[in-house]
Amino acid sequence: MMPLLPALRRCALGTLAVLLAACAGVEPAPRPKLVVLFVIDGLPQRQVTAYRDQLAPDGFARFLDRGAWFGNAHYGYAFTVTAAGHATLLTGAYPHRTGIIGNDWRDVATGETVYCTGDTSATYIGNPTKPLDGTSPRNLKVETVGDVLRGVEPRSRVIALSGKDRGAILPGGHRGTAYMYMAGSGEFASSTYYMQRHPAWVEQWNAAKPADRYFKTEWKPLLPETAYARSLPDRQSWFGPRGGALPMAMGAAADTQPGPSFYAGLLPSPFADALTLDFARAAIAGEQLGADDAPDILSISLSGHDYVNHRWSAESRLSHDHFLHLDRMLQAFFADLDRTVGRDNYIAVLTADHGFMPAPETSQAQGLAAGRVSGSGLLAQVNTALEAKFGVPKLARSLSASAVLLDRTLLADRGLDLDAVAEVARDAAAAQPQVAAAYTRRELRTGSRAGGPLFDQMRLSWNAEVSGDVQLALKPYWMFGSSSSITTHGSPHPYDTHVPILMWGPRWVRAQAVDQRVEVADIAPTLARVLGIRAPAASQGRPLPIAGR
């Protein structure tokens, strides 16, 4: 083996398998010039198959008919929310390793809110920045595929785009560059974590004000009314005072010109996603992605579906139609990639950051026990039990991500043992009829309750440094109530964990439908293998069986 060692050192991007194949006279698989990751925020797998007969010839169908698709793909952890999912995609790690346990959480010591991508040392470029806005990957504790790639090939570019800051920053990793939609201006902006000034192509794109072309535009259904018989009609009574029906005009009737409310209003529609894809086209041209022999990564997170599903549910006609709009957008984007990058030069992956729970009203109509739980009410029940046992009010400080957080200061002042208090809080939470399971910090740390209901999934959502003290999960079809969402996600149940994993790229991916269970954490090591680099250090996934030609 000694003669191999100098060759291994020289081949910074090579792996042992590639080297041995070369020595044996077998031509190694080429590296793609570009990896394109599509993340459809809030797309449950059930929607991909429900409307398959209504797809365009070369959108989702490119994956389903000519690529590899994994019909039993899941997140392996319990608290399935946007930030946690986006942090997993290119790290191959779940929240217990990434430290991204939710979209936000409470500081264990102070109780102050921590935003997943918050960093007060960085600000948006050319746009105002609020204290809890997402501006950097500082809270992400692990590396991504892009970080590894740029470590061995500095010429490689890693660009991440999203309608949400967390949807761009977390896949972009520590060495990539993130751009996010600014709901106040309709622009895309990066932050001073990445650069002090935008490159010329970004300034030109923003100066053209492309979002303004959708002012007073109508979101119209793509298909005749009869095509939507599989989804719920518009104007359900439980949509609330905002209602919901197509066609839907962008911009309030009284508005005479585009403004912040109009730009924000594009998010629960197809138009913010269209803007994101247009910005991606500009990024490909401006950064010359896929133009040389140093592989690049482009992560595109399309946020609109999540906003639509929160507002009207994944079972609604609006969500059905939005999915079909996404399909046609993908078809057009693929045509542009084929022309500019070259059909044989890139690999495309499509997945989602989480699925979606049916609206409680839909589940109730099917005879299921379902509804909404008051988070403040549950916390009050826990505090009542704690005060009865220890004689101290409000020992439970708040809910933090998917856990009850105890008041460390109050515990110290009263000389109370955290683990003892947490056990009483656990029992009080578990006694609530809508709670499926609850585990304490000590149980999650030691694994002493391994084998308990949902324990493994909940343990993967819990991070010892940043999580609270009693991890919770609700029973199926129950959600914490929200003033802005009629339904949500964030559970360990299949409607939230089951998402698509679709791959295309004939040089690397064999057309096949794979039924075996796989996990979203498998995407990162799969792409690392395709790129000929090591997997991210914290990755816990396994390469998917994609076996190209």
The pLDDT value recorded for residue 416 is 98
Check pLDDT > 50 for residue 225. yes
Mean pLDDT to the nearest integer, 344-349: 97
Could you please report the per-residue DSSP string of 242-311?
Answer: T---SSEESS-TT-SS--HHHHHHTTTSHHHHHHHHHHHHHHHHHHTTTSSSS-EEEEEEE-HHHHHHHH
Would the pLDDT of 15 be above 60? no
Q: Which residue has the higher pLDDT, 168 or 255?
A: 168
Is residue 69 helix, strand or coil? strand
Nearest to 348 by CA among 294, 285, 280: 280
**pLDDT for 306:** 98
pLDDT higher for 357 or 16? 357
Per-residue confidence band for 27, with pLDDT thresholds at 50, 70 and 90: low
Instruction: Tell me what the mean pLDDT of segment 249-268 comes to.
Output: 95
Which of 253-257, 342-346, 509-513 is the least confident region? 253-257
pTM: 0.94
Contact 175, 299 (CB under 8 A): no
Percentage of the chain with pLDDT > 70? 94
User: Which residue, 31, 35, 297, 38, is CA-closest to 177?
Assistant: 297
Give yes or no for residue 23 having a pLDDT over 60: no
pLDDT tens figures, 287-303? 999 999 999 999 999 99
Contacts of 522 (CB under 8 A, 6+ apart): 92, 501, 541, 542, 543, 544
Which has more pLDDT, 2 or 495? 495
Residue 485 lies in a domain: no
For residue 536, being part of any structural domain is answered with no
For residues 347 and 396, state if they share a domain: no
First to last CA, the chain: 30
Number of domains in the chain: 2
Task: Check if the beta carbon of residue 391 is closer than 8 Å to that of residue 414.
Answer: no
- The burial of 154, by beta-carbon neighbours within 10 Å (0-12 exposed, 13-18 middle, 19 or more buried), is given as exposed
Local structure of residue 522 (DSSP, 8 states): G
Average pLDDT of the residues of the chain: 94
At residue 242 the predicted structure's pLDDT band, cuts being 50, 70 and 90, is confident
On whether residue 200 sits in a domain, the answer given is: yes
- Local confidence band at 491 (pLDDT 50, 70, 90 cut-offs): very high
Same domain, 472 and 508: no
pLDDT band for 537, please (50, 70, 90 cuts): very high
Give percent above pLDDT 90 in the chain. Answer: 92
Q: What is the DSSP letter of 509?
A: B
3-state DSSP assignment of residue 467? coil
Residue 17 inside a domain? The answer is no
Structure confidence by residue, pLDDT tens digits, 423-472:
999 999 999 999 999 999 999 999 999 999 999 999 999 999 999 999 99
pLDDT at residue 532, as a whole number: 96
Check whether residue 329 and residue 384 sit in a common domain: no
The predicted-structure confidence for 263-277, as pLDDT tens digits, reads as follows 999 999 999 999 999
pLDDT for the residue numbered 29: 67
402 in any annotated domain? yes
- Within this chain, do residues 307 and 393 fall inside the same structural domain, yes or no? no
Q: DSSP secondary-structure letter at 26?
A: P
Which tens digits make up the pLDDT trace of 375-433? 999 999 999 999 999 999 999 999 999 999 999 999 999 999 999 999 999 999 999 99
pLDDT, residue 18, reads 41
- Tell whether 118 and 218 lie within a shared domain: yes
Report yes or no on 383 lying in a domain. Answer: yes
Please report the DSSP string for 35-54 in residue order: EEEEEETT--HHHHHHTGGG
Please tell me the predicted confidence (pLDDT) of residue 240.
86
Do 95 and 240 belong to one domain?
yes
Same domain? For 162 and 223 the reply is yes
Enclosing H/E stretch for 189: strand 188-189
At 300 the pLDDT is 98
Mean of pLDDT values over 82-106:
98
The CATH number of the domain holding residue 252 is 3.40.720.10
107 inside domain: yes
Q: Is the pLDDT of residue 212 over 70?
A: yes
Same domain, residue pair 397 and 525: no
Residue 171, CA distances (Å) to 129, 137, 282 in order: 21, 9, 19
Report DSSP state, residue 341.
I
Residue-wise DSSP of 397-466 = EEEETTEEEE-HHHHHHHT--HHHHHHHHHHHHHTSTTEEEEEEHHHHHHTTTTTSTTHHHHHHH--TTT
Spatial contact of 94 and 83, defined as CB atoms under 8 Å apart: no
Q: Is the pLDDT of residue 149 over 60?
A: yes
Q: Which amino acid is at 231?
A: S
Structure-block tokens of residue 200: 């010329």
State the pLDDT at residue 28: 58
In the 8-state DSSP scheme, what is residue 480?
E
Instruction: Decide: helix, strand or coil at residue 379.
Output: helix
Across 93-113, average pLDDT: 97
Q: Are residues 175 and 303 in the same domain?
A: yes
C-alpha closest to that of 514 among 531, 526, 528: 526
SS3 176: coil
Give the pLDDT of residue 548: 57
Domain edge (last residue) among 447, 476, 505 = 476
pLDDT tens digits for range 151-163 = 999 999 999 999 9
* Last residue within a domain, chosen from 476, 505, 521: 476
pLDDT of residue 483: 77
The predicted pLDDT at position 547 comes to 80
Q: What is the pLDDT of residue 152?
A: 97
Q: What is the DSSP string of 87-100?
A: HHHTT---HHHH--
Residue 115 and residue 191 in one domain: yes
22 has a pLDDT exceeding 60:
no
- Of 89, 107, 110, 109, nearest in space to 98 by CA: 89
One domain, residues 339 and 396: no
Residues 248 and 387 in one domain: no
pLDDT at 198: 98
Query: Phi first, then psi: what are they for 25, rounded to 5°?
Result: 85, 10
| 89 falls within a domain | yes
What residues have CB less than 8 Å from 508, skipping those under 6 apart? 29, 32, 347, 530, 546, 548
Provide the CATH number for the domain around residue 429: 3.30.1360.150
Domain that holds residue 236: 34-364+493-531
